Amino acid sequence: MRKITAGLFISLDGVVEDPQDWHFPYFDEEMGQAVDATLGSADTLLLGRRTYDGFAEAWPDRERAGGEDAAFARKLGDARKIVVSGRERDFTWRNSERLRGDLVEAVTALKAEPSTSDIAMSGSVSVVRQLLAAGLLDELHLLVHPIAVRRGMRFFEDADAPLPLRLLSSTTFATGVVHLVYRLDDDAPTGGYDKAKASLPQSDG
């Protein structure tokens, strides 16, 4: 079964909208390696429509320009890119196709395809939310930036029930960005104050 890994740039107050407006001052070699370890190493990218359109507008030109980011742009171009879109469309970026059918059913089938490579996601917030809720997302990589943006769409929406996650790893970069890796927690802790108070310091008197 193939693993799906999603990466998001996120602010301290949970904003994921327009990261290009606040994220770049914190991008350094450590973050570049983290991004390449997930997005750059996958042979399949699963992208929402808006994220795909932004990528398709920028990365082919960067590959042709031959600059410092051309090698990474080439990796993205060579990868199979599957786009979640509600309508038919023409693709100009190579190796691009539209996801067919119901999202959950189609992604379940995609995970079952024979491959030794992960499926990677970047941005695509609405798709990540749906796959996380459906239990299809294996790892959620949050690159938490030390800035409160204080406006814009937040990743975790209001809902009727909490969403317990288990922390798999935590890495702090020199910039103050914290790379947190989570998965759904099927065995989340339970209990109320009666359980918690046993962990409070006990008086000797």
- If 0-12 CB within 10 Å is exposed, 13-18 middle and 19+ buried, where does residue 11 land? buried
Tell me the two tokens of residue 194: 């009666």
What pLDDT is attached to residue 115?
A: 84
What pLDDT is attached to residue 139?
A: 97
What pLDDT is attached to residue 40?
A: 86
3-state secondary structure of 51: helix
Regions of the chain where pLDDT drops below 50: none
CATH number for domain 4-189, candidates 3.40.50.410, 3.40.50.300, 3.20.20.70, 3.40.430.10:
3.40.430.10
Counting runs of H as helices and runs of E as strands, what totals does the chain give?
Answer: 6, 8
C-alpha pair distances (Å), 42 with each of 76, 77, 144? 9, 12, 22
DSSP output for 109-165 = HHHHS--SS-EEEES-HHHHHHHHHTT---EEEEEEES----SS-BSS---SS---E
